[in-house]
Every structure is written in C-alpha cells, then in structure tokens.
A and B are shown apart, each in its own frame.
Chain A
Amino acid sequence: MSGEISGNSDNVKQLTHQAVQIDVEQGSKSFGEKQVLKDINLSIEKGQFVAIIGQSGSGKSTFLRLAAGLDELTKGKLLYNQTSLDQSTINVTMMYQDSRLLPWKSVIDNVNLGLETKGEKRAEQVLDAVGLLEHKDKWPAQLSGGQQQRVALARALIHEPSLLLLDEPLSALDAFTRLEMQNLIEEIWSKLGFTTLLVTHDVREAIRLADRIILIEDGSVAMDLEIDHPRPRQLSDTKLVVLEEQILNRIMNGEVDESLKEKLSI
C-alpha cells in the first residue's frame, strides 16, 4: 500500500500560476432576509494556507463559495490581487466533501475535464503526483473514497490553480486516509505555493495544515490566528496541543481568551 500513498510530487512543479491575494472589504452576504456574512474584513496573502473553522451554519462555506465566484457579495467588495472583481481572471479550483467525479468518465478523463487542450501526458503526471497513475483507466466507482478524493485533487491541480478551495474535502474519510491526504496536500502546497482556503470542522486538521486560522461565528470573524510553527507539524507537540484546547474552548464557550497569544507566544 505504501507505494501508492506517497506519489511522486516532483511531477507537479510546473502546475501553478502566480498565487493570488484576496481582500474582502466590508463584505456582507444575505440570502433573502437571512444575513449569512456580516461586514467581513479580511486580507489573505499570496500563497497563504488559511483554515476557516466554525460550526455548521456559521457562514464558512458561503465564504468559500464567494471566493470561488459561485456567489456574489450582497454588499462590499471581494478583490483578487487588489484590483480585480472578476473571478475568471484567476485560476480557481475546488475540492468538495464528496469527490464529484463524473461516474461515466475514466479516472484520467475526469482529471482532464474542462481542459481546452487535452494533455494525456500532463494528466498522467498529475495522477502520478497523487499516486494513482496505475488506476488511470478505471471508473471512479472502482476506487476507494480516499482514492476518489485524490483524483479530485489531481483534477484541481491540473488547472494550475492560483487559488485552491477546499470545502471539507477530508471529512468523509477514515482517520488514516485523512492523515495521508493531509500530508499530500501539504506537500503539494509547499511545492506549488498557491493560495489555499480550507474550510473544516476539524480543529486538529486546521492546526496541522494552516498558516492562519480564521474562526467564523454568526457570519463574523470571531478569531484570526497566525500559526507560525515549523512544518511538518507533530500534533503531539505541546504547543499545538494547548492551542487546540484553547481554540476548542473558544468555539464551545464563546469566551475570548485574552491571554491565549501570550501563553503560546505565537
């Protein structure tokens, strides 16, 4: 099994456009009467790995859809690279909780989906990078859940993203597979340096992967933490364990722990 886990990520070096910077200025989003995001101000740097956490219905997935250009702010502005309002000026790709592979296309055709020029070779390189080259001619239904998400990752990468959006892509996987996928995503991100937004329920996952954790509560940014901890991170590291505890407490009790940053000196 270990042969297919690691993959060969040397193959993906060229697969990136310039990473993108995202600025949200007084962004609000309502669906009819219901206001989902309220007056958000955020600046996400080029190449940053940002985890967005929060409870269900807090508006975190809505934020991701806005960044993807699938939805528009009701009020305020969302700017790409400080100037552009138009999502189509950058390469955005997305991974969902379910793989959303087309069941009627082979693995490699799924990876090639939507490309103007079909590059069999490039698709093979990307599949190799996620460790699935030998499965390229199979149907998605013949793969395990973890493998399907790898294909979805390959499909996202082949578009040379400057922004990768991850909408809880690992939450349906078993613990072991999830760990593998976290490693793979981190490895590829470090190589390619695209800006990444990860929406997750899992605080440990956020701490494990992100440069910065944003907690969204009731449509507002309730906490914005930079994590300047060397990678790869060991979750057993005392600092990270304490941090996890603090964040969980913050989410569960809604208390702002002023001393958090001092204690951790981060």
Chain B
Amino acid sequence: MKETWYEKLQPWIIPFILLISWQLVSTLGIISENLFPSPLSVITSGWQLTASGEIVEHLVASLGRAGVGMLIGGIIGFTFGILNGLSNKSYRFTDTTIQMIRNVPHLALLPLVIVWFGIGETGKVFLVVIGVLFPIYVNTFHGIRNVDPKLVEMGKMYNLKGWKLFKNILLPGALPSIFVGVRYALGVMWLTLIIAETIPTQVGIGYLATNAREFMQTDIIILSIVIYALLGKLADLIARIGEKKLLTWNESYK
C-alpha cells in the first residue's frame, strides 16, 4: 500500500517543532546565543564555510580516514569471518585470540595509539580499523555458520564443491548477516572517527570542532556535530540501498 502525503510527512513533524522551538528560545534570548546558537546562525556559518571551500577540505580529510579505516578493517574482518566460518581448524586457531582483542574497548587505546603512531594519520586510521573489524568479523562468521545445512547438502548432491559451493550457497546465505555487520560497523566507524580526531590535527571535522572550542564558536561546534550526524545517516542510507539491491529475494528487505 502506498503512503499518503500525510503519512510521509508524519515522521518530520516532531523534528520540525523542535527546530522551531530551538530558534525561538535563541531569538527571544531565553538562553544566551553564545552558549546555544540558533539554527539560523548554525546554517549561516555552515554556508560561510562552504562558500570559502574550507568545509570541503575538512570533509575530504574525515571521509578519507573513515573510508580507509573501514576498507582495511572490513577486509580483515570479512576474511577472518569467512575463514573461521568455513574451517574449524582456522576457527580453533584464531577465534579465541580475536575474541580477546575484541573485548578491549578500542577507544581506550587512544593514549597508546598516540605513543605508538604519533599524531599523524596512521593512528587515526588504526583506531577506525580496530573499531570496524570486529562487528564485521562476528557477523560474517555467524552468517556463514548459519547457512541452512540442508541447502549445503543439496548443493553437494548437485556437484557444487569448493568455490562454486561458496559462491552459490554459502556467501549469498551469509549476506543478510554480513550486511548487519557492515551497518553496525559504519556506526562504530563514525564514533571512532570523532574520538580519533581529537588527536591533534590540522584538518578534519574533528579539527573544526576542537578549533572552534578554543574560540568559543559554539555555532561551529554544533555544525560539526550536525555534519557527523548527516554523514552517519548518509552512510547508513548507502548501506541500506546496497542491502535492498543485493537482497531483493529476501522478503524482509522489500
């Protein structure tokens, strides 16, 4: 059934009311504009930063760190998830170690990372890698392990072995679970990036926020937070589109 225009509008009513109240609270001077700038002034400073091109530079830097970290961590997590899902030998050999490292809150590594890698890019990317690796590992592993053994038996009956069995049955069967891992990892990725960008740097959304704090530019701080939120939403949206495209066969993704 198609949603009517009113039903489409419904989820946005409360955010809209909140935004209006925020604007009113600021313009009526109930809360100091210096502590809690109005939405309009946030938008204005956002526009200024965009016009000067400054924001693009910061965005590119942050996206680069997030992307590279996600890619490396994703590949490592996926590879070990597949290996341990398929092979009990590999599972016995590596899983305990991976689980031990997984239980260290990776953000607590921050001081150590600074000592190890200094304040350059490597430390920031490293933190993201550690953050996204585990959700992807765990979900890939369980995805492979939970593929219906009846389908695997059927595949063997029909001459599917090795790579063919993997490509036709195991991987597609694990895919819904892998996507859950990817979406969860995307959340961890942004969170890690925010923390990682508190390591002194000259560029990035985190720098924008830290720098603004020095000069009490609350509008820029809020702008940075909004940008993080938008990026997070955008990443999730992209993952969901991918999910929908690849999982059209699955009723729950219609």
Q: Which residue of A lies closest to B160 (CB)?
A: A114
Residues of B within 8 A of A5 (CB): none
Is B249's CB under 8 angstroms from A96's CB? no
**A100 touches which of B154, B159, B175 (Cβ 8 Å):** B154
Residues of B within 8 A of A141 (CB): 249, 251
Give B152-167 as 1s and 0s: 1 = Cβ < 8 Å from A's Cβ atoms.
Answer: 0111111110001000
Residues of B within 8 A of A103 (CB): 249-250
Asked if B172 CB lies within 8 Å of chain A CBs, one says yes
Is B250's CB under 8 angstroms from A70's CB? no
Q: Which of A143-172 contact B (CB under 8 A)?
A: 155, 159
Q: How many residues of B contact A (CB 8 A)?
A: 21
Residues of A within 8 A of B155 (CB): 113-114
CB distance from B68 to the nearest CB of A (A): 31
Asked if B92 CB lies within 8 Å of chain A CBs, one says no
How many A-B residue contacts, CB cutoff 8 Å?
Answer: 46
**B150 touches which of A98, A104, A113, A155 (Cβ 8 Å):** A98
CB distance from A119 to the nearest CB of B (A): 15
Q: Which of B136-183 contact A (CB under 8 A)?
A: 150-151, 153-160, 164, 168-169, 172-173, 175
Q: Which of A84-135 contact B (CB under 8 A)?
A: 92-94, 96, 98, 100, 102-105, 113-114
Residues of B within 8 A of A114 (CB): 155, 158-160, 164
Interface magnitude class on chain A: 10 to 19
Q: Which residue of A lies closest to B148 (CB)?
A: A100
CB distance from B30 to the nearest CB of A (A): 56
Residues of A within 8 A of B173 (CB): 104
Q: Which of B236-254 contact A (CB under 8 A)?
A: 247-251
Q: Which residue of A lies closest to B153 (CB)?
A: A70
Residues of A within 8 A of B153 (CB): 70
Residues of A within 8 A of B164 (CB): 114
CB distance from B151 to the nearest CB of A (A): 6
Give A41-74 as 1s and 0s: 1 = Cβ < 8 Å from B's Cβ atoms.
Answer: 0000000000000000000000000001010000
* Given A102-B168, A102-B169, A113-B168; A70-B251 close (CB under 8 Å): no
CB distance from A72 to the nearest CB of B (A): 14
CB distance from B155 to the nearest CB of A (A): 7
Is A68's CB under 8 angstroms from B157's CB? yes
Residues of B within 8 A of A140 (CB): 249
- Other than the given A100-B154, A102-B168, A104-B250, 4 more pairs (CB < 8 A) read A70-B156, A94-B157, A113-B158, A140-B249
Residues of A participating in the B interface, judged by any CB pair closer than 8 Å: 68, 70, 92-94, 96, 98, 100, 102-105, 113-114, 139-141, 155, 159
Would you give 11 A-B contacts (Cβ < 8 Å), ordered by A? A92-B157, A93-B158, A94-B154, A103-B249, A103-B250, A104-B249, A105-B168, A105-B249, A113-B158, A139-B249, A159-B158
